[in-house]
Amino acid sequence: MTMGKTLKVVIIDDQPVIRQAIAGLLQGEADLQIVGQAGDGEEGLKVVHATQPDVITLDLEMPRLDGFAFLRLLMAKNPRPVVIVSSHATRESVFRALELGAVEFVAKPSRIASRVDLLPVREDLLRKLRTVTRLSIRSVAERMRLQGQGIRLRSRSSEDLLNGMSLPLAPTVSQPLVPRFLLCIGASTGGPPAIATLLQALDAKLPVAVLITQHMPQKFTAAFVDRLRRTTSWPVREANPELPVVPGEVLVAAANHSLCVYRDGAIIRVRPASEITEQTSGYVPSIDRMFSAAADAMGKSVVGVILSGMSGDGVAGVQAVHKAGGRVLVESPQSAVMPSMPEEAIQTGAAHDVAPLPKLASLIIRHVLSRPL
């Protein structure tokens, strides 16, 4: 957003009281101007066409044309940044909407009678309305094109190598296996669909354990885990204290503390939250903390990947992975929905490869398979 620019906002929600509450939050903000409101998706498309807003707030469950159908039509004909404002924190609806082109979401209270009920999320909503206008709508469209074909991103030569590998049996509770590699993925705005696309392109037979830190509101973590389970071939679960980190499994950072691992003899485990000192001024969960802990535990056997995002989290982490001899891969800012996080990671000089999302999967596979057993 350039200094002094007024951002035009359209509010779409079937409940008048919620539209009024959101409008009340935005009133008085000099850089935000409400140019239209709508009570369903069909009306919303007309309002968007007439006003050409910079950003849209969208509910998902609406009569006539719901939020999902609205997103399909909007992104096909008149793509705009969309922030989902939803109370569906325990459902996968929000992540389905992100896959259809929405770029951010805010968890609204389940009951709203006035603007006062939205005050707890006011700062989060204002920040996201302002930041999503900096993203690349072209990258959103390209990301949507890639979804559903992620598994085909893997090159034939890499697939042949993978099929020829002698892979270990699945781990048991009594004898958990140690992964040959830790694949650490960090993302923020625009991250959930990118993470899903990347995992779809990677086979769970790879001798890697995947650790994910995705910045999101606390209540949405469980729904994100469920969505990854449904849309990828990987077993996915939320990281719990002392859980062994095993190959062929994805662990997602809980929303209230960082995902840090440590070496317990021959086993890699998730460190309890009580043993993690979070940065009071930083992000929680922290990409920096996850990358740094992984580098301490497995050194050159760490692959750190930075995807789309709007923060400086990950800058210290990629440097820690690089210093430990690990591999650092960064999504190309040109392909990232939000380029700020990749740009800051690249500026450190720690990145070994910078590539668009489709190529990252093949780079990971090539690096993993190039290391002898």
Cβ-count burial of 31 within 10 angstroms (0-12 exposed, 13-18 middle, 19+ buried)? middle
Q: Is 313 known to be catalytic? A: yes
292-325 in b/e form (b: 16+ CB < 10 A) is bbbbebbeebbbbbbbbbbbbbbbbbbbbbbebe
Tokens 């004909």 belong to which residue? 77
Catalytic hit among 313, 322, 340, 362: 313
In what helix (H) or strand (E) does residue 115 lie, and over which residues does it extend?
none
As a whole number of angstroms, the distance between CA 199 and CA 183 comes to 11
Q: How many degrees, rounded to 5, is the angle at CA 175 between CA 173 and CA 178? A: 110
Residue 46 vs residues 50, 129, 276: alpha-carbon distances, Å: 6, 21, 50
Strand extents, DSSP E, the chain: 7-12, 32-38, 55-58, 82-86, 104-107, 181-187, 208-214, 236-238, 250-252, 261-264, 267-270, 302-306, 327-331, 353-355
Structure tokens at 170: 């699945």
Tokens 């951002």 belong to which residue? 7
3-class DSSP assignment, residue 340: helix
Catalytic hit among 88, 215, 257, 322: 215
In what helix (H) or strand (E) does residue 278 lie, and over which residues does it extend?
none
Q: Is 367 known to be catalytic? A: no
3-class DSSP assignment, residue 355: strand
What is the CB neighbour count within 10 angstroms for residue 196? 21
Catalytic hit among 93, 136, 139, 188: 188
Q: Is 88 known to be catalytic? A: no
Structure tokens at 282: 């930083």
Q: Name the residues annotated as catalytic.
A: 188, 215, 313
